[in-house]
Amino acid sequence: MEYLYAPWRDTYFKEKVDGCVFCNLSNHPHLDTMHHVLYRDEICFIVMNRYPYSAGHFMVIPHYHTDALENLDEQAWLHMSHIIQQCVKMLKIGLEAQGVNLGMNLGKSAGAGIAEHIHYHIIPRWIGDTNFITTVANTRVYSTDFEKIYQTLKDLIPEFISC
């Protein structure tokens, strides 16, 4: 799929990491702004998706490295579920999203782009946010500046996300 406007992606191609990309994000909190991390605590972190389906698409990711949801500690799963619930509220109220897609792709065969480390997608949606160009031209139109939506969400986090 092609993007009409995605200047932030050049960093992704220049920035190669050894090992798991999500563990790299987890282990380098001093680089949170550069990596577009929105929030972190001792169990998980929230980071913007570099390949968004719509403006404001982000992921909740446990610090614990696993490719199997069933191996994630139950308390970590409950904590992440609590964070995800607060994220949905943030998107609906703070970003005025009309709907939200939630999901995990567990394994390469299920569509996971980074299959070695589980992660939960949270995607704000609006009526009319997709159109024929995605189907006909295999192109996705991103309706706002990536840095702007990152800063908007970052500013909303303290109001909506708490442990």
Could you give the percent of the chain with pLDDT greater than 70? 80
pLDDT at 84: 97
pLDDT band of residue 52 (cuts 50, 70, 90) is confident
Spell out the CATH class of 2-160. alpha beta
With a cut of 70, say whether residue 63 has pLDDT above it.
Answer: yes
* Stretch 68-84: mean pLDDT: 96
DSSP states of 20-78 as a string?
-HHHHHHT-GGGHHHHTEEEE-SSEEEEE-SS-SSTT-EEEEESS--S-GGGS-HHHHH
* Stretch 70-76: mean pLDDT: 96
pLDDT band of residue 143 (cuts 50, 70, 90) is low
pLDDT at 67: 96
The set of catalytic residues is 119
pLDDT band of residue 13 (cuts 50, 70, 90) is very low
Select the more confidently predicted residue: 131 or 96: 96
State the pTM of this model.
0.83
